[in-house]
Amino acid sequence: MWSNLPFDLLAYIFSFLPPDSLACAKSSCRNWHRCPDVYFDPSDSRRRSQNPTWFIAVIIRSSGIVCYAQNPVDNHRQFLLQLDFIPTPIQPISPIRNGGLILLRSTTADLLQLAICNPFTREFRDLPILTVPRINPAVGVVELSSIPGQFHFGVFVVGGLSVALPAGNGSSAYESTVEMFDSRRGSWLIIGPVPLEYSVRLTVSDPDAAVYCDGVIYWMTSTGAYSVIAYEITTNKWKELNLPIADRLEFAALGRRNGKLTLVGGKCGGDAYVWEHGKGGMNWGIIEKVPFELGMKFLGGKGCWDNTKCVCTDGMVCFYKDVGSGMLAWREIDENGRWGWFWIDECCSIRGQQLKLQNFQIKGLLLHPNLAHSSHFNS
């Protein structure tokens, strides 16, 4: 009977499986191996509620890099992932979410060198060297196609300090171009200019991971009050967005929720909120407030949001600090679009073994685990 099921029906059944069970199913036969890759749609709301993104915490230590992953559908069961297959010291930049990949930057040199890895399959690849060598540019990832079996992505690099070639005078200046890497083509291409003012601000403020929404890439800058710089890819237009109560926010993070640009922030001595940006340049509107009791539990009763970090994507908003601290999550709980708040206990042990990682800083990422080999790692 199973061998006679239509692929779309079989894929619907597979969509209820967590990644580890799906990997076992895919190893059964050739047809089952191919079916999820062809028919799965990672952006489907029903699949998001059944298999939400995992929280990946990358822990950077002097002795090496490790990360732990939390499975949200298995009572937040935690897995320790060794990253010793990565050959050089790195810093995570951004998830390439639906591909199950992480974009990395090398920390062994000033010039930007990017790479990708899959922490579950232990695959790694350096991306080609940029057309224009740069120091400390802003970086953003765009998933150009999430169609199963045809997934590919682009990496955008903006601004930074350009470095003269040896034949030049050895001086540096702010780079005024946007460069893009297309995973299908496998090379970099300069696609347009960037105004000098924005190049300077994006270089100096060292913005966190960018957010892509409706053809626009957004970076948050924190030189003075928080603000957002937006780049429309198809028209090569730039603009700035003001944020609500920007001068009173102790922390702020950008994300995308249900396809819309989202801001998460907390006021000094006050509450934390989730805002959504309206289309067509409309103002920000509050869509959710962190429950008071859960907020106080997360802050340890201090009422101060400094040192808070946040990651946000379709299906989940997650507040976290460092290793040994509990987390606060607001996530989609059913296919009808209902969301709920959850407390996640601190990660101090895995399989009964105590983690000796307290007080280490972490970089949090939200990722859909992918246990299949990816062609993006082919040279």
Q: Please say if the pLDDT value at position 264 is more than 50.
A: yes
Could you tell me the residue range of the domain that residue 185 belongs to? 41-377
Pair (21, 49) in one structural domain: no
Pair (266, 282) in one structural domain: yes
For position 185, which CATH number holds? 2.120.10.80
For position 22, which CATH number holds? 1.20.1280
Pair (31, 85) in one structural domain: no
CA–CA separation, 164 and 173 (whole Å): 9
CA 186 to chain CA centroid, Å, is 21
Pair (32, 45) in one structural domain: no
Which pLDDT tens digit goes with each residue over 151-191?
Answer: 789 999 999 998 764 445 555 689 999 999 999 999 999 99
Between 359 and 369, the higher pLDDT residue: 369
Which of 232, 168, 225, 231 is closest to 199 using CA atoms? Answer: 231
CA–CA separation, 75 and 342 (whole Å): 11
Pair (358, 346) in one structural domain: yes
Pair (163, 32) in one structural domain: no
Tell me which of 1-15, 82-96, 164-178, 313-327 is least confident.
Answer: 1-15
Pair (95, 7) in one structural domain: no
Question: Based on the structure, what is the number of domains in the chain?
Answer: 2
Which pLDDT tens digit goes with each residue over 34-51?
Answer: 665 554 554 554 554 456
Pair (299, 199) in one structural domain: yes
306: left (phi over 0), alpha (psi -120 to 50) or beta: beta
Q: Tally the C-alpha atoms within 13 A of residue 379's C-alpha that lie toward its C-beta.
A: 0
Which residues does 124 contact at the CB level (< 8 Å), separation at least 6?
A: 85, 86, 87, 115, 116, 117, 377
Pair (117, 263) in one structural domain: yes
Which of 19, 66, 44 is closest to 369 using CA atoms? Answer: 19
Pair (78, 169) in one structural domain: yes
Q: Please say if the pLDDT value at position 148 is more than 90.
A: no
Residue 81 burial (C-beta neighbours within 10 Å; 0-12, 13-18, 19+): middle
Q: Please say if the pLDDT value at position 10 is more than 90.
A: no
Q: Please say if the pLDDT value at position 318 is more than 80.
A: yes
Pair (176, 263) in one structural domain: yes
Supply the pTM of this predicted model.
0.85
CA–CA separation, 81 and 94 (whole Å): 17
User: What was the pLDDT predicted at 167?
Assistant: 47
Pair (118, 266) in one structural domain: yes
Count Cβ atoms below 10 Å from residue 309 Cβ, excluding itself. Answer: 17
Q: Which residues of 61-71 are buried (b: 16+ CB within 10 A; e: fewer)?
A: eeeebbbbbbb
